[in-house]
Chain A
Amino acid sequence: MGAEEEELPAWSLPEEAVERIALPEEWPGEVTRDWAWGEARGAGVRVCVLDSGVEAGHPLVGAVQQSVAISIEGDDVIVEENDTEGDLCGHGTACAGVIRSLAPDCELASVRVLGAGFTGSGSVLLEGLRWAIEQDFDVINMSLSTTKQKFAALLHELADSAYFRRTMLVASAHNMPVESYPWRFSSVISVGSHEQSDPFAYYYNPSPPVEFFARGVDVEVAWNGGGRLVCTGNSFATPHIAGIAALVLSKHPELTPFQLKSVLYLTATNVGKT
């Protein structure tokens, strides 16, 4: 925005400001997949995988632009900005590989929030998410959650702040009737699994809190040591939506999370079908 331009209204809309928030985007009469991401490869979109780390250079993952590890010592949050541990489990590499398969040109970053033991894992998750949001990633993939009630309010605040900063948080839902966070919040996209094998098949769920279903059964994924595994779980459905979100954002970088979610809804496999 040029210095001579007036600031956009944030809290109210006076009459004379109405012109200033006229949005230039042209919405087609029908939002099609071709309009949404046709020809897109995810270029220019920064995707963060908040997980167990990512094995950089894995054939299915390729380059990882940044690897960070979060830990907590006493009251201090330690951010290791050049984490060399790789992936402590394989799971983060799996998620990164799914995103890469859908959005081959996106930038990938890894924020490792696992490996420091179970105790305190909720705090590490929270601080990792806080750090990732501060970096203004376009998409954050979170195939994990916490059940600790004491983190719910803070996670809710973080999820909302991501939403308003134009960071789309994509989080795995539970397939058990469990209260866990942050996937239950409306400011994130929550993802469950369907059984089909098409990575571009995704369904909008008219009965949230699980908002979308994506491919999550028998998915061939990247794993540690350059390996591959066939895995099932909402953990693997989530990066499918994260990858498609990266495609949409690479073609339409102006979209806010609200608009992005709407585009995903309008292009969902089950929407507009009779």
Chain B
Amino acid sequence: MNEALRAAVAAGVLGAEEQFRALLQSVVEVARAIFRAKASSIFLLDEEADELVFEAVAGEGSESLIGQRFPSSTGIAGFVLVSRQPLVIEDVLADPRFSRETAESTGFVPKGLMAVPLLHEERALGVLEVLDRPQDERFTLAEMDLLGLFANQAAIALDLLQRARRARAALDGEGDFGVLARVAALLEQRRGEDSQASAFRLLSELERLL
């Protein structure tokens, strides 16, 4: 089955984008709470535009950040994405060039941040950041491991979100496969009804014909 077809059929039965967004939101909220940080956010890499996009934000900063974009290879998040290396920085104000504009445009300039790449299989999907954990405590490798665990969870959620979007695009598309996705969705809705059984018989015949 080709990608578009697979996505189209999956669209009928997969969860909606909103559910995966809620999952991402939950990841940043838990990360923020566990690290007792002021904020946490997830950036998605938009490969076509070569930009990072705010996908979920918890704490300081606001809903209005969602959807904001910046270049994929600048600032700490950009470095983390490109280098695939997590970084923890205790005083970003000491760096006069570091993404100051980006930080100020969000209305919140952090003092310290942890940033970790979101890796799924061999792809780098985005970056998870946790801003301003309490700085009176020394950072530990156990926290770094914890950050890695959150990153893994966020990467899975981000992958699901991207799949849902591709599926949605296939479903909404005018392309030939859109009809298959709509049929799959209708079949799912009519689970257990007589019309579903009849439809499956019809599809079996169609399969034989092909």
Contact = CB atoms under 8 A, between A and B. Distances in A.
Given A88-B74, A149-B122, A175-B148, A224 B85 contact: no
B45 interface: yes
Interface size class of B (residues with CB under 8 A): 35 or more
Given A118-B45, A147-B124, A178-B119, A230 B91 contact: yes
B88 A223 contact: no
A91 interface: yes
A63 interface: no
B141 A229 contact: no
B33 interface: no
Nearest to B50: A117
A224 B97 contact: yes
Contacts of A149: 122
B85 A235 contact: yes
Given A116-B73, A217-B139, A227 B96 contact: yes
Contact of B72 (A118, A147, A233, A234): A118
Interface string B140-173: 1100110010011000000000000000000000
Contacts of A225: 95-97
A90 interface: yes
Interface string A228-272: 111111110000000000000000000000000000000000000
Interface of A is mostly: loop
A178 B116 CA distance: 12
Contact of A145 (B85, B92, B144): B85
B94 A235 contact: no
Given A175-B148, A223-B94, A115 B73 contact: yes
B26 to A, nearest CB: 20
Contacts of A233: 85-88, 144
Contacts of B29: none
Interface in B67-107: 71-76, 78-79, 81-92, 94-98
B47 interface: yes
A111 to B, nearest CB: 14
A109 interface: no
A143 interface: yes
Nearest to A179: B122
B78 A118 contact: yes
B73 A121 contact: yes
Contacts of B145: 175
A174 B98 CA distance: 24
Given A217-B140, A217-B141, A118 B81 contact: yes
A156 to B, nearest CB: 15
Nearest to B112: A230
B123 interface: yes
A218 B133 CA distance: 14
16 contacts: A88-B74, A115-B73, A117-B71, A118-B81, A118-B82, A145-B85, A175-B148, A178-B119, A180-B119, A193-B144, A194-B141, A217-B139, A223-B94, A224-B97, A235-B85, A235-B87
Interface of B: 45, 47, 50, 71-76, 78-79, 81-92, 94-98, 116, 119, 121-124, 138-141, 144-145, 148, 151-152
Given A174-B84, A227-B94, 4 more contacts: A174-B85, A230-B91, A231-B88, A232-B88
